[in-house]
Amino acid sequence: MTPFSDIQALIIDMDGVLWHGSQPLPGLIDFFDTLRAKHLRFILATNNATLTAEQYVTKLAGMGVRIGTEQILTSAMATASYLSREVDPATSRVFVIGEEGARAPLLEQGFTLTDTFDPVNTQTNADIVVCGLDRTLTWQKLANATYTLHAGAKFIGTNADTSLPTEQGMTIGNGAILAALQAATGVKPITIGKPEPIMYRQAMALLDTDTNKTIAIGDRLDTDILGAVRADIRSLMVLTGVSSEEDLKVSDFQPTWVMQDIRAITQALQKT
């Protein structure tokens, strides 16, 4: 039995699975052509909160793959959806560390965003701090977030990845920013992205599928694979990203399957 003989849907990571930075990985177009030929539903689910769904659609189009925004789920989108169920967006103000990808989903859910902290006119301050990866991060942003957290705001992280793979190598991830804010305030964030199961559960709801007929595909043990374990779904790890076969040897948990890359996944699909 191949990994794909009894499934209906795939939840697929992007960075390290489909591309490195702006470079598509070999076999990308064939992979998506095969998904469609096999009538497999999929969601592209990423912890990277810097881009909007529309920007990811554009990025994939530039690589020769056409998808819709409804097939994208970022940790920022998952965060906005989670918060909209926890609080009333119409009466909630959010301070955001993050880029357009973090801000846009909150605005779409009806939240009011603020970039400042006022020690005098406290009614204008945020009651939630949302932190995503921010490549324009400044001391002032960190300071205002710290003031807001000290004033009692909820602390939400889009994801806790401490590192981010790029074409130049590994660089700082959002988890390092969260750690700095936690060290400064003593407030521990609630994180939404993988390895928390929230994103996978949201993706399954969007796909109208269940744990028995869904597979998560990723490259990173501590996020993609651990998240699948916590969400009680099977997982497939590719070796084109962060985690390696050596990492597997010392891990307390394992993916259901390991394949070299998306070309190997395509070959397995074509055999079903």
Report the catalytic residues. Answer: 13, 15
Phi, psi (deg, nearest 5) at residue 267: -60, -40
Show the 3-state SS of 63-120: CCCCCCHHHEEEHHHHHHHHHHHHCCHHHCEEEEECCHHHHHHHHHCCCEEECCCCCC
CB 224 within 8 A of CB 234: no
CB 200 within 8 A of CB 159: no
- Residues at the binding site are 13, 15, 194, 219
- Residues at the binding site for Mg(2+) are 13, 15, 219
Phi, psi (deg, nearest 5) at residue 163: -135, 165
Query: Amino acid identity of 235?
Result: S
* Cα gap 196→223, rounded to integer Å: 8
